[in-house]
Amino acid sequence: MSTKAVRKKRPARKRPARKKVLGHTPIILFLLIISGLVTLCIGTGLAWFLALDIPDIRSAQDYKPLVATTVLDKNGTIIDAIYSQYRIVITKRQMPPLLPMAFVA
């Protein structure tokens, strides 16, 4: 029997781990800024697109809706009304006072 010296391997030296100072914070911050800018651009574009469809206020003041055409006989009695949309134009004073409040509510 031989008595050979068995050489044991030493464990490799571990290098001290470097601490991550910021970690993933810059990446997350960058992504938040980019997503915020994209959201802002989309919102601005959508608002601009919807603003193109808004009629001018002057056209709202001159609004004349289609009303029914009434057919009268020789005595002035209504015989019939011809219409595609039956509307009767009234002033705000002719409306019941709760009607404008109901639309706002």
Domain borders along the chain are 25-55+64-104
Residue 57 has what pLDDT? 75
Mean pLDDT of the chain: 83
Q: CA 70 → CA 21, 65, 78, distances in Å?
A: 83, 15, 7
Condensed to tens digits (0 to 9), the pLDDT of residues 38-89 reads 999 999 999 999 988 887 777 767 777 777 888 999 998 989 888 887 778 8
Residue 31 has what pLDDT? 96
Residue 39 has what pLDDT? 98
Cα–Cα distance measured from residue 92 to residue 72, given in angstroms and rounded to the nearest whole number: 27
Cα–Cα distance measured from residue 99 to residue 93, given in angstroms and rounded to the nearest whole number: 11
pTM across the whole model: 0.39
Q: What is the mean pLDDT of residues 27-40?
A: 96
In the chain, pLDDT over 90 holds for what percent of residues? 30
Residue 29 has what pLDDT? 93
